[in-house]
């Protein structure tokens, strides 16, 4: 089962495998891309609504990898759908690919190269320089903003 992100419809991705997507993807599409979603649904594409427990599991994983602020509600629910259906997520979004890797979800990139490694981001305070494993709104020590950085 291939779970299709918005980019799959924009890039006119085609597969002979069974496909699935979510209603939020349809809401993001306009014009001919929205027509393509409707046509694929009419041809048998499965529309899936993931369980809230799975959505929360994906949200926790995104916080663990440091990608939570990069994912939209659509992204999170697509990841949850791919997890529940044991499907391959079709997307070009790097943050989604990173969380998918963390959760053991297979990914197929379309127009860009996929990620080469899974990353767990660090967050560094712009004021005091301390580093944190998890994202906070502000530094719990000095109150300054945090920036995401590659731990490598």
**At 142, which CATH number?**
2.20.28
Q: 21: which residues sit within 8 A by CB, 6+ positions away?
A: 3, 4, 5, 8, 37, 40, 45, 46, 47, 48, 78, 81
pLDDT of residue 71: 94
Q: Which domain holds residue 73?
A: 2-108
Are the C-beta atoms of residues 74 and 89 closer than 8 Å to each other? no
Same structural domain, 104 and 126: no
Same structural domain, 34 and 102: yes
End-to-end CA distance of the chain: 34
Tens of pLDDT along 84-93? 999 999 998 8
| 52-65 vs 94-103: helix crossing angle, rounded to 10 | 110
Q: What percent of the chain has pLDDT over 70?
A: 91
Tens of pLDDT along 34-51? 899 999 999 999 999 999
Residue 113: inside a domain: no
**At 55, which CATH number?**
3.40.50.1010
Query: What is the pTM for the complete model shown?
Result: 0.74
Tens of pLDDT along 93-122? 889 999 999 999 999 988 755 445 555 667
Whether 76 shows a pLDDT value over 70: the answer reads: yes
pLDDT of residue 114: 47
Same structural domain, 68 and 136: no
pLDDT of residue 152: 59
Same structural domain, 19 and 75: yes
Whether 33 shows a pLDDT value over 60: the answer reads: yes
pLDDT of residue 115: 46
């Amino acid at each position: 089962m291939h779970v299709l992100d918005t980019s799959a419809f924009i890039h006119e991705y085609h597969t002979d495998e069974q496909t699935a997507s979510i209603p939020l993807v349809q809401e993001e599409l306009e014009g001919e891309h929205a027509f393509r979603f409707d046509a694929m649904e009419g041809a048998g594409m499965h529309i899936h609504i993931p369980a809230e427990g799975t959505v929360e599991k994906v949200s926790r994983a995104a916080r663990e990898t440091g990608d939570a602020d990069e994912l939209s509600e659509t992204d999170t629910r697509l990841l949850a759908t791919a997890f529940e259906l044991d499907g391959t997520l079709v997307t070009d979004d790097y943050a989604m690919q990173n969380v998918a890797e963390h959760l053991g979800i297979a990914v197929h990139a379309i127009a860009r190269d996929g990620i080469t490694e899974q990353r767990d981001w660090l967050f560094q305070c712009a004021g005091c320089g301390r580093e944190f494993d998890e994202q906070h709104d502000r530094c719990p020590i000095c109150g300054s903003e945090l920036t995401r950085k590659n731990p490598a």
